[in-house]
Structure 1
């Protein structure tokens, strides 16, 4: 009987799809086009002589054969990675420099850091907490290896990560008559949340004033908590004493905010970096 050799790269793509990534997300992670990933899966199905994925308009699932392959694929990819890393210890030992916005640092990163320290204790991690514009520029210049930031039309944008609604946040129980000027507590410009707040109020014909401007998320949160004004962020900022005040204050609707993953295209494949990104994806599923 002729024995076929299964391509590890093809198995890696299969695993990404099997674990819930879309073809677009899988292609971004492995650095190939969605059509190339599709061809990889078709090639794998041809080599094994069976259908592995069940496709519909909205989702992709595993067939019984796909479920049977899953355990083999995980073991084969793991053994491959262990063998490669045994000869690339110097690459894995280098620090991982990762960037995230302040909201994520408070709400999502603690669990990511805990799990990463358990699963990758040998990797030195450097975190940069900054605004999206600065993080994207830092990826571009090579100051950091990857970042999670607000979605921008930028070549470094490798894949969508999450999408969540912007919300008006104020002191719990805050009262503001609909004919009163709205006091705003916002980051200084440029800031996507600041622009969304001002645009929404202007479109609704609602007067506003700047009660406080700060470059610090802690500063915004403190000012809102004492009733100085309202801010616009995501639900990740909500906590004791803070509430979504849109309905109570008659404030206008806001757009959604999308986050993307930014990676320098010149960087080589790096398991430690990709593991950290995978943990971020998992954390978002529970946080949102």
Structure 2
């Protein structure tokens, strides 16, 4: 159609590689092209979109604001392209795939998608690592994980594919009775957990005393501590269990600040199996729908 500008996938793939791998030389080595060839492709892409996409900051190359906007679209376009090619070529999906999930709700939120993937691709060895979100981000940057679900400290973060809002809720045993004159007994994950920080922030805002009575890295231990009436904690709807009830303002517990959560991966580093899992997770998120922002920002 006259007047329509097409963005070639090879140019978009090069742009993603330059940003995510940290420069023209690394992108060229990964894609099997010379540095001048990579630079030429970036210039061609900038001509098509009519704005500068990259800027030199010290010794590193960073995307411009326009580059950040294009990166979100480029990652989605390349993901869909590779998903389509994989469907028709029936690419072999083998190898080890390392997934990072936050301790806060571990496998519960996306368990069905991951379980379905394992059943459909028995030849793929899946490793699931549960940790605090900040550690998962570090592991992804260090290429120690392939795909992560993690809390976001900023609206825009590297390697982001999908973002959505998670609303933590106060959880207590059905028989729990609060005593306003006593400090609130809190159960939490170790220092650095976003849910822990939000509980403390909420109680401090109403000048309510609190004390940590249970600390543990796993979600099951925290759930048991709540069920046994030892403490109250911040959970999600996915991790609420029978025998628990929600505490709110009528109980003297102010609403907790929502959390932004994201799906992250380095596209150039991802195998065919990884790309398939990302597509499965994206489909799962899109089916849930609420609060999901496909393009960050």
Please show how residues 22-41 of structure 1 align to structure 2 within 5 Å: 34-35=69-70
Unaligned runs of 5+ in 2: 1-5, 11-66, 75-79, 291-297
Please show how residues 86-165 of structure 1 align to structure 2 within 5 Å: 89=92, 92-153=93-154, 155-165=157-167
Contact kept, 8 Å, 1:139 with 1:146, in 2: the verdict is yes
Structure 1 pair 37/261, CA: closer, same or farther in 2 (3 Å)?
Answer: closer
Structure 1 pair 225/287, CA: closer, same or farther in 2 (3 Å)?
Answer: farther
Contact kept, 8 Å, 1:147 with 1:262, in 2: the verdict is yes
Contact kept, 8 Å, 1:8 with 1:80, in 2: the verdict is no
Shift of 1:185: 0.9
Per-residue CA shift, 1:145-196, capped at 9, x if unaligned? 1111111347534133321211111111321143432111111211111111
Shift of 1:78: 6.6
Structure 1 pair 113/78, CA: closer, same or farther in 2 (3 Å)?
Answer: closer
Please show how residues 1-288 of structure 1 align to structure 2 within 5 Å: 9=9, 34-35=69-70, 80-81=85-86, 89=92, 92-153=93-154, 155-264=157-266, 267-268=268-269, 270-284=271-285, 285-286=287-288
Structure 1 pair 264/78, CA: closer, same or farther in 2 (3 Å)?
Answer: closer
Per-residue CA shift, 1:205-228, capped at 9, x if unaligned? 111122222222222111111111
Shift of 1:136: 1.2
Per-residue CA shift, 1:70-90, capped at 9, x if unaligned? xxxx9x97773356665xx5x
Shift of 1:263: 2.0
- Give the Cα–Cα distance (whole angstroms) in 2 for the partners of residues 279 and 247 of structure 1: 38
Contact kept, 8 Å, 2:132 with 2:192, in 1: the verdict is no
Normalization by structure 2: what TM-score? 0.64
Per-residue CA shift, 1:216-266, capped at 9, x if unaligned? 22221111111111111222220111121124521112110111122236x
Structure 1 pair 175/263, CA: closer, same or farther in 2 (3 Å)?
Answer: same
- Give the Cα–Cα distance (whole angstroms) in 2 for the partners of residues 35 and 287 of structure 1: 23
Corresponding position of 1:63: none
Structure 1 pair 120/262, CA: closer, same or farther in 2 (3 Å)?
Answer: same
Shift of 1:198: 0.8
* SS of 1:105 mapped into structure 2: coil
Shift of 1:109: 3.6
- Give the Cα–Cα distance (whole angstroms) in 2 for the partners of residues 227 and 116 of structure 1: 37
Instruction: Provide the alpha-carbon RMSD of the alignment.
Output: 3.3
- Give the Cα–Cα distance (whole angstroms) in 1 for the partners of residues 232 and 83 of structure 2: 49
Contact kept, 8 Å, 1:193 with 1:232, in 2: the verdict is yes
Contact kept, 8 Å, 2:113 with 2:281, in 1: the verdict is yes
- Give the Cα–Cα distance (whole angstroms) in 2 for the partners of residues 280 and 37 of structure 1: 17
Normalization by structure 1: what TM-score? 0.66
